[in-house]
Chains A and B, each alone.
Chain A
Amino acid sequence: QVQLQESGPGLVKPSQTLSLTCSVSGGSVSSGSDYWSWIRQPAGKGLEFIGRIYTKGSTTYNPSLKSRVIISIDKTKNQFSLSLSSVTAADTALYFCARGGWTSFDDWGQGTLVIVSS
């Protein structure tokens, strides 16, 4: 089973850029037909799809975040990353990375809490 682990700063100042990395083990970000996704969960709330990147490089973003999001893949490190710019308190959430096929999110990381505060 593929294992995923999120990493990055737990505290980001308003207006700055949130940057997270997902390290993948037990699988490869450059093989197969997998989608590598970022999903977030504000405290006490539901799940929100941020975006995903296909093994071959194409990306899909949530329109509500599209102007601020970049997801990229680093095949040499077997990682993929999230960059979310111009953050506000509304971006405070538990951020998950996940692997899946076209329709589901099959394997998830444990999540990393990001707080936006000055």
Chain B
Amino acid sequence: EVQLLESGGDLVQPGGSLRLSCAASGFTFSTYAINWVRQAPGKGLEWVAGISGSGGDIYYAESVKGRFTISRDNSKNTVHVQMNSLRVEDTAKYYCAKRGHYCGGASCYYYFDSWGQGTLVTVSS
């Protein structure tokens, strides 16, 4: 069974830093991209960042580019996101999600097929 477990959420002051972790099990970790998605209070889902299975391809939402750094340790089946220069608007529940894919014909289609339960980040003075 695929399991994703986020940790590291906390209360932090504006301008501060936090490191979230996503521990995975139940699948061949190094062959799957992992993404972070957040949900601010009362708001919808927002994609934050993604990293390929090898770690060689990394993507960020414009809202976090230059402040967040995603990385992975395939020996420990873990993905991290280092969050610096945190803002009040970064307050959210952060989920990690495994990206699956289906290839048919000339195209491959992606989706987030497994998600963790999330970890809460609160940025407030």
- A and B physically associate: no
B interface residues with partner A (beta carbon < 8 Å): none
A interface residues with partner B (beta carbon < 8 Å): none
